[in-house]
Amino acid sequence: MFWALEGSQYSWDTYVGSPTNLSTLAPEMDGIVDELMSMVAAAGLRIGVTLRPQVLTPDPAWNASVPPTATPQRYYQRDLYLPDNSTDVAGYVANIAGKVRYATARWNATIFYVDSTVNNNGVLPHTVWDALRASFPGVVFIPEETDLLDYATVTPLQDDWGSAAFGVPAAVKLMWPSAFNYQLMQMDTTDEDPVASGFVALRQAGDVFRVDGWYASPQNAWTKRVYELAAAATTTVTTEESAAMGAL
């Protein structure tokens, strides 16, 4: 998953999340990105990119003579509202769907981290994700901010930076037993025991964990150990259950 395909030179947003504007925002990436994605696909991996639900909008007050870090910036991200200031659900669905169609047609992308899924009215309504799931049944959406009802259709991001392991709420598991989180894994685990940390239990419950693919992060080895311990514990339980059934 490429979290900043358009680059990080734009100080007005951490992640631009607008692959449809790649040729304008980052022509140097646009020229090589197809080859890059082909390498990822050839390795047997699914392709993912970051999206934003806002509309990338030129700022009429932008001054081309000022440094790129100065304000006003060349663009800003515009939220979508109806005349009564309520959230424009159809507008958000169309915005995200257009970006998904572009990325799937060009790179066969099927995984999308969706950044900043909030506006002044709070978290985007779950009906946004319901509509997108109906349109793209084979796509995984990972919204940054979610509500409980979103678990029915998406994989919420769990930002565990500096905090304890947090899994799917029990009430959600009652409604959707297969619900799971995408754990961001942005905390220091240098001297932390994987089992005691709680992350092994999260893996056994179905959560998936991010690993860094662009450098050899020490976090990766710890995360790999979590997967190994979770798999070993699951195998042990399965073997014991089989033996018990055989005895019966």
SS (H, E, C) 30-86: HCCHHHHHHHHHHCCCCCEEEECCCEEEECCCCCCCCCCCCCCCCEEEECCECCCCC
Q: How confident is the model at residue 128 (pLDDT cuts 50, 70, 90)?
A: very high
Q: How confident is the model at residue 247 (pLDDT cuts 50, 70, 90)?
A: very low
120 shares a domain with 2: yes
213 shares a domain with 136: no
Q: How confident is the model at residue 162 (pLDDT cuts 50, 70, 90)?
A: low
pLDDT value, residue 119: 96
Amino acid at 44: G
**Residue 243 counted as domain residue:** yes
For residue 219, is pLDDT > 50?
Answer: yes
Q: Ranked by mean pLDDT, which of 11-25, 111-125, 208-222 comes out on top?
A: 111-125
pLDDT value, residue 180: 96
Distance CA 231, CA 13 (A): 39
pLDDT value, residue 223: 92
Q: 200 lies in which domain range?
A: 178-248
146 shares a domain with 54: yes
**Structure token digits, residue 9:** 């030179």
What are the tens digits of pLDDT across the range 25-45? 999 999 999 999 999 999 999
Distance CA 4, CA 19 (A): 10
Q: How confident is the model at residue 163 (pLDDT cuts 50, 70, 90)?
A: low
**Residue 77 counted as domain residue:** yes
DSSP category for residue 125: P
- Regarding predicted confidence, which is higher, 163 or 158? 158
Phi, psi of 156 (to 5 degrees): -65, 145
- The partner residues of 228 in beta bridges, in order of sequence, read none
**Residue 126 counted as domain residue:** yes
**Residue 23 counted as domain residue:** yes
Distance CA 209, CA 170 (A): 20
pLDDT value, residue 52: 95
pLDDT value, residue 11: 58
N-terminal to C-terminal alpha carbon distance within the chain? 47
> Is cis: bond before 67, omega within 30 of 0?
no
204 shares a domain with 104: no
Q: Of 155, 190, 216, which marks where a domain is finished?
A: 155
Rg, Å, the chain Cα set? 21
**Residue 34 counted as domain residue:** yes
200 shares a domain with 133: no
150 shares a domain with 221: no
126 shares a domain with 57: yes
Residues 6+ apart with CB under 8 A from 215: none
What are the tens digits of pLDDT across the range 104-121? 999 999 999 999 999 999
For residue 248, is pLDDT > 60?
Answer: no
99 shares a domain with 7: yes
Asked whether 119 and 145 are in contact (CB, 8 A), the reply is no
pLDDT value, residue 150: 97
**Structure token digits, residue 179:** 């619900």
Structurally, how many domains does the chain consist of?
Answer: 2
For residue 47, is pLDDT > 80?
Answer: yes
**Residue 233 counted as domain residue:** yes
3-state helix, strand, coil in the chain (%, to 5): 40, 15, 45
For residue 71, is pLDDT > 90?
Answer: no
pLDDT value, residue 243: 47
**Residue 162 counted as domain residue:** no
Q: Of 98, 122, 155, which marks where a domain is finished?
A: 155
**Residue 15 counted as domain residue:** yes
What pTM, to 2 d.p., does this model score? 0.89
Q: How confident is the model at residue 66 (pLDDT cuts 50, 70, 90)?
A: confident
Nearest one of 222, 122, 124, 125 to 165, comparing CA atoms: 222
pLDDT value, residue 12: 62
Distance CA 75, CA 62 (A): 8
pLDDT value, residue 213: 87
22 shares a domain with 98: yes
**Structure token digits, residue 37:** 């994605």
- Regarding predicted confidence, which is higher, 80 or 185? 80
